[in-house]
């Protein structure tokens, strides 16, 4: 156990690193007594991991305690309405050992999203040497080495539900990789029991508690609960063991005390808050610490902790044991208000999930997944978490833009990787994902000023993300812009010219705009007149004059 002195030392390191990182990451804070608003490296593209994390050790997150706290309390920072704390000065999430910008940020081809995290190639299935039983999770499975000696975690479809769990894993794996999360490599395999042997050093601990050598008969319960094909084989997923040392998972609130680079409370990390939207789209109902994984890896000559969203299989309409319950995605396991209404009305109070038509429920491979009644603003996981509960409209907006970046062609190609033998099942899953995607756009791109992609050269240009996504028309009366010169040392602003108006998302440069390298300009841009009040609230945009032209260095959408 870590001593108090050791903990104090780590806290000191963490606080020192926190002060350094905040100055680089937290955006748009008012300059205080000589502090600059922007620095030469703004906007940073990668979150710095400056400290060596070799001291990070394996820890166990007590699942029941964690789920109880998230169900009945609001763990994490009690301060309301806190802006995400790991965003850079242009309101984006830098790359890190938590997240890698992919879709929307980088043009991805259909082939790239279909490949996803698959870089090593599939296992050599000529030989499987079982090394131990599966330690966690509901799906039947075990750990084994393939013919090359590589370590894999194998799991199978539940009895009676062929293709359900394996298909969901394969499809969700590609989606969450494209969204930016660190993912495990998952491959579709076919296993026959006669292919297996037990490794000489394989051990297991039965209910008696006394460890003993593993026997072939120990696999009988695995195959009893797994779905057996007509030819006697079992369809499964082979997940490749991660490089580095596994040291447990991460929580959705607080920080890991033995990782000196983990200094932003997890409830204030935008990529974790964004799972509220991404989870709603894919119906990822099982968002808990037990489905995450941290590993220690070497990076740029030092040890860092990498954070994986490891298990995204409880998605769409099914989970490890079969179809989701009817209320999953509609309600959390405990919602006091709904429970009270049911008690008061003696069960008469009903919810949409009690009457929704799943219209393809009879297909065991898909389960209960629909888009007609889906409302992304009311979607709920089984248990909420600290990051989910802190998501603000700007976090939802950021996430929704990435969901909308998936084209119909991409979605259909990703779904095809699920290996569904029924074309109608594949078609249904694709159609529902497209339907839910469009609802995500309408729900989260409209309630906030949606102007993006600002650039300044001979004119100021920008784009309306809601219009580009096809969920809104251009502002009726166009857009307005008010210009200021900006003093980066003091934060003082001086108006430049009059407020400009335009029908198109493009404005000329006002007379008097400085072209001296090192100078800054601030522009406030909003819809000139709109029935959507949120669009009339301006976005504050900052540019810095470089030798080669103007560079976008700042964007404030919400304070």
Q: Which of 206-215, 219-228, 453-462 has the lowest mean pLDDT?
A: 206-215
- Per-residue pLDDT reduced to its tens digit, 327-354: 899 998 877 676 666 666 656 667 778 8
What residue segments make up the domains of the chain, in order of their start? 4-113+248-444, 123-166+185-246, 451-556
- Take residue 200 and report the two structure tokens written for it: 């000489």
**What ranges in 26-101 are assigned the alpha helix state H?**
63-72
Highest mean pLDDT among 259-273, 309-323, 505-519: 259-273
Residue with tokens 């084209």: 407
* Residue 210 three-state SS: coil
What integer pLDDT is reported at residue 33 of this predicted model?
A: 46
Q: What is the pLDDT of residues 424-437, one digit of tens each?
A: 999 999 999 999 99
Question: How confident is the model over 453-481, as pLDDT tens digits?
Answer: 999 999 999 999 999 999 998 877 789 99
Output the pTM of the full model: 0.90
pLDDT for res 259? 97
For the chain, what is the mean pLDDT?
90
Q: Say what angle helices 423-444 and 275-282 make with each other, to 10 degrees.
A: 150
Which CATH architecture describes the domain 451-556?
Sandwich (2.60)
What is the token pair recorded at 157? 């479809």
DSSP bridge partners of 552: 543
Place of tokens 């529902």: 432
pLDDT of residue 313: 84
**CA end-to-end distance (rounded Å), the chain:** 41
Question: Which residue is listed with tokens 């609960």?
Answer: 225
Quick count: other Cβ atoms within 10 Å of Cβ 424?
Answer: 12
CB 185 within 8 A of CB 408: no
Task: Return the minimum-mean-pLDDT range out of 42-51, 314-323, 357-366.
Answer: 357-366
- 252-261 confidence digits (pLDDT tens): 999 999 999 9
Bridge partners of 523, per DSSP, are 483, 541
DSSP characters over 87-130: --TTS-PPB-SSB---TTTS---HHHHHHTT--S----TT-EEE
Contact 122, 189 (CB under 8 A): yes
* Per-residue pLDDT tens digits for 357-386: 776 655 789 999 999 999 999 999 999 999
């Amino acid at each position: 156990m870590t001593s108090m002195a050791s903990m104090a030392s780590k806290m000191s390191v963490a606080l020192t690193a926190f002060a350094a990182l905040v100055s680089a990451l937290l955006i748009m804070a008012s300059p205080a007594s000589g502090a600059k608003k922007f620095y030469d490296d703004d906007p940073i593209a990668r979150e710095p991991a400056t400290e060596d994390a070799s001291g990070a050790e394996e820890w166990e997150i007590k699942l029941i305690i964690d789920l109880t706290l998230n169900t009945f309390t609001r763990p994490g920072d009690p301060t309301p309405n806190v802006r995400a704390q790991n965003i850079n000065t242009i309101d984006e999430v830098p790359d890190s050992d938590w997240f890698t910008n992919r879709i929307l940020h980088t043009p991805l081809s259909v082939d790239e999203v279909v490949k996803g995290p698959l870089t090593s190639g599939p296992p050599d299935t000529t030989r499987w040497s079982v090394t131990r039983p599966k330690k966690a999770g509901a799906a039947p499975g075990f750990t084994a080495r393939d013919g090359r000696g590589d370590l894999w975690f194998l799991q199978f479809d539940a009895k009676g539900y062929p293709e359900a769990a394996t298909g969901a894993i394969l499809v969700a794996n590609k989606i969450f990789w494209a969204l930016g999360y660190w993912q495990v490599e998952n491959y579709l395999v076919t296993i026959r029991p006669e292919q297996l042997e037990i490794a000489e050093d394989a051990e297991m601990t039965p209910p008696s508690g006394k460890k003993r050598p593993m026997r072939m008969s120990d696999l009988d319960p695995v195959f009893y609960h797994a779905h057996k094909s007509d030819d006697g084989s079992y369809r499964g997923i082979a997940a490749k063991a991660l490089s580095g040392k596994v040291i447990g998972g991460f929580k959705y609130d607080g920080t890991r005390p033995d990782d000196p680079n983990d200094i932003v409370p997890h409830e204030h990390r935008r990529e974790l808050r964004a799972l509220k939207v991404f989870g709603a789209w894919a119906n990822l109902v099982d968002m808990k610490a037990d489905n995450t994984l941290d590993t220690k890896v070497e990076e740029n000559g030092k040890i860092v902790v990498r954070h994986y969203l490891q298990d995204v299989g409880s998605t769409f309409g099914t989970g490890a044991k079969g179809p989701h319950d009817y209320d999953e995605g509609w309600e959390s396991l405990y919602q006091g208000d709904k429970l009270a209404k049911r008690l008061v009305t003696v069960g008469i109070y009903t919810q949409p999930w009690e009457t929704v038509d799943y219209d393809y429920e009879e297909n065991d491979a898909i389960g209960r997944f629909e888009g007609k009644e889906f409302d992304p603003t009311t979607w709920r996981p089984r248990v909420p978490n600290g990051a989910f509960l802190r998501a603000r409209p700007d976090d939802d907006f950021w996430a929704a833009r990435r969901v909308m970046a998936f084209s119909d062609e991409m979605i259909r190609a990703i779904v095809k990787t699920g290996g569904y033998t029924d074309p109608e099942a594949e078609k249904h899953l694709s159609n529902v994902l497209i339907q839910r995607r469009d609802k995500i756009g309408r729900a989260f791109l409209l309630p906030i000023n949606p102007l993006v992609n600002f650039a300044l050269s001979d004119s100021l240009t920008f784009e309306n993300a809601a219009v580009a996504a096809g969920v809104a028309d251009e502002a009726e009366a166009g857009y307005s812009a008010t210009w200021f010169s900006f003093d980066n040392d003091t934060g003082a602003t001086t108006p430049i010219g009059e407020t400009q108006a335009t029908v198109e998302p493009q404005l000329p440069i006002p007379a008097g705009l400085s072209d001296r390298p090192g100078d800054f300009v601030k522009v406030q841009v909003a819809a000139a007149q709109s029935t959507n009040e949120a669009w009339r609230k301006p976005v504050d945009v900052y540019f810095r004059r470089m030798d080669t032209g103007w560079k976008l260095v700042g964007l404030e959408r919400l304070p």
